[in-house]
Amino acid sequence: MAVDLLDVVRADRAPGDLAAYFAETGERRYTGRRFDAFADGGDQPAVRDVITPEDLLAVQALSAVIPAETMFALLDGELGRQMTELLARVPTDLELGTRDARKQVGNQSAVSEAWSLLRDRPDVGFVRAGKLIARKRPHLIPVYDRVIRCLYGRPQQVWLRLHDRLAGDGARLRGELAALRTRAELPPRLSLLRVLDVVLWMSHHEEHREQDCPGFGTISLDWVHSAEE
């Protein structure tokens, strides 16, 4: 049976993994540590609805390089204007797992349309598209790559299912993520979604493989009753 997300967040290794990922010193430094806060973040009032060069640099820190033609279209073309129009309809202060968030991440939502617009560009795909959207709305949209998808077992409608998991069970998972962020001595502005992403990624990225991965489907997006509950 798949492990519940609560068990991953409560694991003994979780605070150390989280702190190590964001550490500015040490034997190994993860470039992704700069994704969220680089240039003060992508959701600041002055830039919240505009794809900027800083956003494109930030996603590179997560090994997501936007192809040149798409980059030009985002910075100085019709694609950028379409993205601005869609992002303007998506609140920056809404957190996944809280009231009113579910309708903002459904299939007909503005943020879903923005993601699809990016995903369908040549050589972009779901990973790059998702990381760029997560940069603009870090509290609503999770970073989601092949490592995390593997752990979840390649589910459909990830945003909706993660919202329901965060909202359910008395929002206990959200509380545990906030407590973990505090234990790792990270700033409150770091989104709970990013805390979850990093903990999951750190637990699996070294052993992950694209075919016949031992971690495939080992973590459930749905609440799993534990014997300790």
Per residue in 150-179, pLDDT tens? 999 999 999 999 999 999 999 999 999 999
Summarised one tens digit per residue, pLDDT across range 70-105 is: 999 999 999 999 999 999 999 999 999 999 999 999
- What does residue 3 show for φ and ψ, rounded to 5 degrees? -80, 145
Examine the pLDDT at 143 and tell me if it is beyond 90: yes
Contact call for residues 54 and 38 (beta carbons, < 8 A): yes
Burial of 224 (0-12, 13-18, 19+ CB in 10 A): middle
Q: Is the pLDDT of residue 228 over 60?
A: no
pLDDT band at 225 (very low <50, low <70, confident <90, very high): low
Q: How confident is the model at residue 226 (pLDDT cuts 50, 70, 90)?
A: low
- What does the pLDDT read at residue 180? 98
How confident is the model at residue 26, as a pLDDT? Answer: 83
- Each residue's pLDDT tens digit, 40-73: 999 999 999 999 999 999 999 999 999 999 999 9
Query: Taking the model in full, what pTM does it have?
Result: 0.95
Cα(217)–Cα(134) distance, rounded to whole angstroms? 23
Classify 154 in phi/psi space as left (phi over 0), alpha (psi -120 to 50) or beta.
left
Burial class (CB in 10 A: 0-12, 13-18, 19+), 108: exposed
pLDDT confidence of residue 223: 86
Q: Which tokens sit at 221?
A: 């997006």
Task: Provide the Cα torsion 79, 118, 5, 1; round to 10°.
Answer: 160
Q: Please give the pLDDT value at position 227.
A: 42
Question: Tell me, what's the pLDDT at 201?
Answer: 98
